[in-house]
Amino acid sequence: MKNQKYQVVIEDFLPKAQVLKLWKMLGMELIDLNVACPDNYHSNKGQFHWRGGVLIFHSAAKLLISTNEILTGIKKLNNQFSAINRQPMAKAFGLKNRGGNNWVLDGTLGLGKDYFLARSFGFDVLGVEKSDLCLGLISTATLEGDKIPDSSFYFNDTISLIERSIKNSSNHLLFDEELLVSISKNSLAHESLELFNKIHSTMPTVVYLDPMYDEKNDSALPSKAMQILRKELGVGHESDFDKLFTLSLKIALNRVVIKRSIKSKVKFEEKFSFSIFGKSTRYDVYLKN
């Protein structure tokens, strides 16, 4: 488990038992102001404030993002009825890759927008996230929210997850039971390793990666969520992403898809196949030979 980085400051009622269990697993320090005000309350750590059933993250830039904001986005995605064959992401993933034994590995889950978007298109998706900040926010929103479909998130570094699976010559991703976090609308199942391995008994058909591009010529500021992610997690190291792409190409059965700004240059041109364009976003597709 990574070193503790965040505090959860509880100012009113306790969240659900599943949420408390999740926070403990993520190594988050809990501070209950109803009991006593700790001396280190004004620390330099990032802080989650639990107020009225909403987990709010206070960043150094004083930006706020609540679980309600994430929840609203999830519900909006789940209720959309647009034609799938016109959606850039769905076309990039390959419409024939829905159903059957096909599934998508979202190796950069973040706050889950693309995860739930892909699921709304009918893809079976597993989200992997190494940030306790991101996983804490999205999982709390999912656990506390009503009428949210069962979801699968995994807490780990995608690179180490793939490397371990390749090293063991396995035909499926190897999950560590200690760090396995299966989220559903009703429960937090910590001992669901067997279920995960059964569902994902083969390598993913599609691996999806979002390097969180940061284009210098964008005139508008990014969303609150993106500003927080960039400040707290960094845009990412190029060498790490290069390695992640190489490993993803090894395990993907059909293709790797990278989300890019429509203005950016194509990465890994020697492996590049084609692009699917949206209004401001491009999906670069790398087909397996």
Q: Residue 188 has what pLDDT?
A: 67
Verify that 160 and 122 share a domain, yes or no: yes
pTM, rounded to two decimals: 0.87
* % of the chain residues with pLDDT over 90: 28
Task: Give me the pLDDT at residue 104, please.
Answer: 96
DSSP-assigned states of every residue in 181-230: -EE-SS-EESS-HHHHHHHT-S--SEEEE------TT--SPPPHHHHHHH
Is residue 187 scored above 80 in pLDDT?
no
Asked if residue 142 and residue 43 are part of one domain, the reply reads: no
What is the C-alpha to C-alpha distance for residues 249 and 277, in angstroms, rounded to an integer? 21
Q: Which residues pair with 188 in a beta bridge?
A: 183
Residue 1 lies in a domain: no
**Residue 1's pLDDT band (boundaries 50, 70, 90)?**
very low
Residues 59-78 have pLDDT tens digits of 655 667 888 888 888 888 77
Shared-domain flag, residues 172 and 210: yes
Same domain for 234 and 200:
yes
Segment 26-48 mean pLDDT: 71
**58 and 85 assigned to the same domain:** no
Between 114-118, 183-187, 226-230, 255-259, the lowest mean confidence (pLDDT) is in 226-230
Task: Decide if 161 is inside a domain.
Answer: yes
Asked if residue 100 is part of any domain, the answer here is yes
Specify the DSSP element, H or E, that contains 57.
Answer: strand 54-58
Dist CA 242 CA 254 (whole Å): 19
Q: Is residue 264 a contact partner of residue 213, using CB atoms and an 8 Å limit?
A: yes
- Residue 50 forms part of a structural domain: yes
Q: What is the pLDDT of residue 217?
A: 44
Q: Are residues 34 and 78 in the same domain?
A: no
CA distance 141 to 56: 11
- 105 Cβ neighbours under 8 A, 6+ residues apart: 125, 126, 128, 158, 173, 204, 206, 207, 208, 248, 251, 252
Whether 80 and 167 share a structural domain: yes
pLDDT tens, position by position, 202-212: 899 999 999 87
Same-domain pairing of 116 and 98 = yes
Last residue of a domain, one of 46, 66, 86: 66
Query: Does 99 share its domain with 197?
Result: yes
pLDDT > 90? residue 198: no
- Is residue 147 domain-shared with residue 164, that is, in the same domain? yes
Same domain, 115 and 192: yes
Res 57: pLDDT: 81
234 pLDDT exceeds 70? no
263 vs 210, 215, 266, 282, CA distance in Å? Answer: 15, 8, 9, 8
pLDDT (0 to 100) of residue 150: 76
Q: Which domain holds residue 12?
A: 6-66
The SS3 assignment for 76 reads helix
Domains identified in the chain, total number: 2
Looking at the fold, whether 32 and 100 belong to one and the same domain comes out as no
94-152 pLDDT tens trace: 999 998 889 999 999 988 889 999 998 999 999 998 887 888 888 888 888 776 777 88
Which of 17, 37, 66 finishes a domain? 66
Q: What are phi and psi of 80, to 5 degrees?
A: -80, 150
> Is 95 a member of any domain?
yes
